[in-house]
Amino acid sequence: MSEADPNTRISAHLHHLAIQSSDPARLSAFYSRVLGFQFERRRNTFIGVARERCLIIEPGQDRTLAFAAYEVAQPQQLSAMRTRLQLAGLSTAGSPTEIFEDDAVCVRDPDGNTLVFGTVRSGAKSVLDADLLPARLQHIVVASRDCARMAEFYQRVLGFVLSDNVVDDEGAVRTSFLRCGSEHHDFAVFQATENGLDHHCYETTDWNVIRDWGDHFARCGVPIRWGPGRHGPGNNLFLFVHDADGNWVELSAELERVSADRIPGTWPHEQRTLNLWGQAPLRS
């Protein structure tokens, strides 16, 4: 396989996400009530927007990622990405999202996850409701039977940059945190027994707003499943809830900002890495 330029880095951020559900109406009702999304129904698909967040819910298998869409900083990056994919011997697919312009680049990673890179279509709906608690859609995490292969693909082919690895006692990589901007990670992959969506995350501002989200979840009758705590890699505060389908949803604050020349770190595969404050569910 031909090599793409390893020095080319992409500059992008996660703009919207599509997840599948056996009951899209029920799941969209949850995100409307709990995270403030305003949904528009198009047949059996629900397209939701809120302050700094956009979510699409499609019919399908529960807890399944349909695609993740990253907005690039400059449109010319799309032609560069097409060149990288060609050099890697990969073909692009048709874009699954109407939110991006027609020149969006769509590709599948080694596990079959669909990634879209593009620019937001002129006139795309947005919500600037100042009354909503801040929660910017920030990253996704997937589970993989081959974490190392996935991390290598995202760096070599897509131009992401490694921020940190989590390594077990035998030296095998169990988690890789990768970025395509100035925050610690925009994507991460865990070693697991099955491929799939692990969680998606919304970044808020600080500890006080994490508290406010906790109070909001309590008023909504949504229990906190993990946290509050602090991750080691990224140093961010967090709490997790389950949505109506059982997807893990993270609220995060104070995620580490990194410089372009930051040296990747290595963390031990132990509970304290995932939660400096206490217990954590280690992936198998």
**Domain identity same for 111 and 155:** no
Q: What is the pLDDT of residues 95-147, one digit of tens each?
A: 999 999 999 999 999 999 999 999 999 877 776 666 789 999 999 999 999 99
Please check whether residue 110 is in contact with residue 153, taking contact to mean a CB–CB distance below 8 angstroms.
yes
| Reported confidence tier of residue 2, pLDDT bands at 50, 70, 90 | very low
Q: What is the pLDDT of residues 185-226, one digit of tens each?
A: 999 999 999 999 999 999 999 999 999 999 999 999 999 999
Please give the share of the chain, as a percent, with pLDDT higher than 70. 95
Last residue of a domain, one of 92, 118, 144: 118
**Domain identity same for 89 and 175:** no
Domain-located, residue 3: no
**Domain identity same for 64 and 161:** no
Please provide the average confidence, as pLDDT, over all residues in the chain. Answer: 94
Question: How many domains, in total, are found in the chain?
Answer: 2
**Domain identity same for 52 and 96:** yes
**Domain identity same for 54 and 84:** yes
Domain-located, residue 201: yes
Residues 6+ positions from 221 with CB-CB distance below 8 Å:
none
CATH number, position 31: 3.10.180.10
Domain-located, residue 130: no
**Domain identity same for 75 and 113:** yes
Please check whether residue 176 is in contact with residue 150, taking contact to mean a CB–CB distance below 8 angstroms.
yes
Range of the domain at 214: 136-274
Question: pTM value?
Answer: 0.95
